[in-house]
Amino acid sequence: MATLLHIDSSVLPGEASSSRSVAAAFRNAWEEQHPEGIVVYRDLAADPVPHITADAWSAGYAAPSERTPEQSAAFAVREKLIEELEQADAVLIGAPMYNFSIPSTLKAWLDNVLLLGRTAGETPSAQGTPVMVVASRGGSYAQGTPREGYEFVQNYLEAVLKGTLGLDLDFIVPELTLAPRNPAMSELIPLYEASRKRAFEDATTKAKELAERFAA
């Protein structure tokens, strides 16, 4: 049975969130292919993980027998998050752009699971695991656009997820999501609609393609 680790981080609920909606389409297509599979779900907006602390950080570099009670308690949280990543056959992350970067709740999750000598380093423990990131954004930060230089979601996540954790990274990018609600962007609504349609199609297609990889 394949295990999918699904992480949402949008503060908006349900269909009000593009990242949640597109990620849900990916998950639904995945579950159709893996009806007996396991989905481990974390909603970081509803149930945020703790930000990294001195005890949680230092415990990662201390032998279990040498940890203080505070370090042991703090590291237990990190251990669970790390094990979820290591045990996943695939990872799905909803990563909306907030103020040009990822939500702080998603950053906290990354800080917890990134452990040098285990998930990071010469042989990352989850190396090669496919990860699909739904990187939604209210505007467009694509190459050639006026705000190209403000794109700190894909660039950052590529450095962390691919470059550091060694995951097999892919993106789905629904953009211009503010167009229907911002009068100043009304002329961009057709581009938003095309982007949204393409994102849902990509979610279904990529989920099925990934399922076929596991079946091969």
Residue 62 has pLDDT above 80, yes or no: yes
Q: What percent of the chain has pLDDT over 70?
A: 99
pLDDT at 216: 63
pLDDT at 212: 82
The partner residues of 130 in beta bridges, in order of sequence, read: 168
The model scores a pTM over 0.85: yes
